[in-house]
Amino acid sequence: MPPTTSYREALREALREALQNDPRAFLMGEDVGRYGGTYAVSKGLLDEFGPERIRDTPLSELGFVGAGIGAALGGMRPIVEVMTVNFSLLALDAIVNTAAMLRHMSGGQFSVPVVIRMATGAGRQVAAQHSNSFEGWYAHVPGLRVLAPATVEDARGMLAPALADPDPVLIFEHAQLYNMQGELPATDTQPLDIRTARVRRSGSDVSLITHGGCLPKALRAAEELGAQGVSAEVIDLRVLRPLDDATVMASVRKCRRALVVDEGWRSGSLAAELMARICEQAFFDLDAPLARVCSEEVPIPYARHMEEAALPQVPKIVAAARALMGVSA
């Protein structure tokens, strides 16, 4: 049996391996050193690698993300941790107007091999300014690769190929996944790709297409649907830019019904992009209109019952899938 570990520990082991294997690699961000990381991902790494490789930074996302981009241009392999996706907006100019654009603006003379990790998502009662899901925003930007590991295996395996990518890679870690336990395959398996989506559960009646923190919810919904006689296939996008259209369309053509589950807001969402692509590429394969379950169009509330009501939940997913099947509640 493969060993069991947590999502958090898998991320830490990926960081440790990166620092051991490449002297150019270093971690930088707020509280990553002496405090051990806001989510304890980098706990113990300062003692192991020292302050040159594990660098605590001032509370200035624009400043230290910009420094990471400069280090990447100088030949280093920085791993920049932003405490939450909400705070990454303070570094939006550096990420979008510099890191993402420099290869194009330099006519291919420069690349920016920086990895930027950040926590995303809601569900922990930390209120609106700490609970957003902005990965769909970044997936809009050419020049970025956007990853959303939702399993222990992806948490462990996505960092190495991200560091090997010559262009900037953003890794979104849903905050509710850090304590999740899972099996970790042996380290001598084939390197993990950061190009394709994965079928996490096979089915034949309806495709549930999702990513990140919504994957466990989609899998639980698929279990419930199975008990009700509905065979749901679950697609984990994993890579939000570039999207793996081939895997999505293969599932849609097989199941002929599709439901997108996205913690982002409905308006202008990644869910909307997926639905548009399905209409463009597989419209005549559908037996029912497309559907989606997204967060409500409100700032994420603090009160637990209101926060839960605002987010995609298993009952909402089950109800939407049953509606696609024409099954009444």
Residues labelled as active-site residues: 61, 130
- Residues of 163-183 as b/e, b for ≥16 C-beta within 10 angstroms? beeebbbbbbbbbbbbebebe
- CA distances 134 to 176, 216, 249, 268, 299, Å, are 15, 19, 24, 11, 13
Q: How far, in Å, CA of 252 to CA of 219, rounded?
A: 17
Question: Residue 146 forms beta bridges with which residues?
Answer: 170, 241
DSSP string, 158-191: SHHHHHHSSS-EEEEEEGGGTT-EEE---TTSPP
Residue 251: C-alpha distances to residues 21, 46, 136, 209, 315 (Å)? 38, 44, 22, 9, 22
Cβ atoms of residues 272 and 320 within 8 Å: no
